Amino acid sequence: MRYSLRALPRAIAISLLGIAPATQAASNSANFDVSIQVNATCAISASNMTFSSITTGTTSNTDATSTLTVNCSNGTPYTISMGNGANFSNVRRMAWGGSYIEYTLYQDNSRSAQWSATSTKSGTGNGADQSITVYGRVPSGQVITNTGSYGDTVVATITY
């Protein structure tokens, strides 16, 4: 005997064919932003400037250098300024026992561009250490009466 699918009730026919009733899948979406703030950073350090020993009757200039090491984020512009030192009185001075020896700081090896408290040196960071030389000079012709170990402290500041 033959049976027609038409003769079977619809639900039986669908189940015999392996067809499930259609269901609608529902979905929703949401967007979200991903972000990070990258801040520029700079660091500065300095080596000491040590002049060679002199005598009280020195008649020539005495020169020395210091190295500033600057490390700023890549592409970060910066300026370096130099303080006057702890013993400043119209000029930078090293002190010992109530006596002073004058000195000057320069931005260049020829010692023609003084580094005053109002002058700055500019640069741009590259993400690596950059060396900047500070040139110093104790000028000749000073009357030095006391022997001893003279000193001063200068603050180098980086602004970025």
Question: What's the pLDDT at 19?
Answer: 58
Residue 44 has pLDDT above 60, yes or no: yes
Distance CA 38, CA 158 (A): 19
* Residue 33 included in any domain: no
Tens-place pLDDT, residues 4-21: 555 555 555 555 555 556
Domain count, the chain: 1
Full residue range of the structural domain in which residue 122 is found:
46-159
The CATH number given to whatever domain includes residue 147 is 2.60.40.1090
Task: State pLDDT tens for residues 59-79.
Answer: 799 999 999 999 999 999 999
pLDDT of residue 98: 92
% of the chain residues with pLDDT over 90: 75
Contact assessment for residue 46 and residue 69, using Cβ atoms and an 8 Å cutoff = yes
Within a domain: 36: no
DSSP 8-state code for residue 56: T
Does a structural domain hold residue 61?
Answer: yes
Q: Which pLDDT tens digit goes with each residue over 77-133?
A: 999 999 999 999 999 999 999 999 999 999 999 999 999 989 999 999 999 999 999
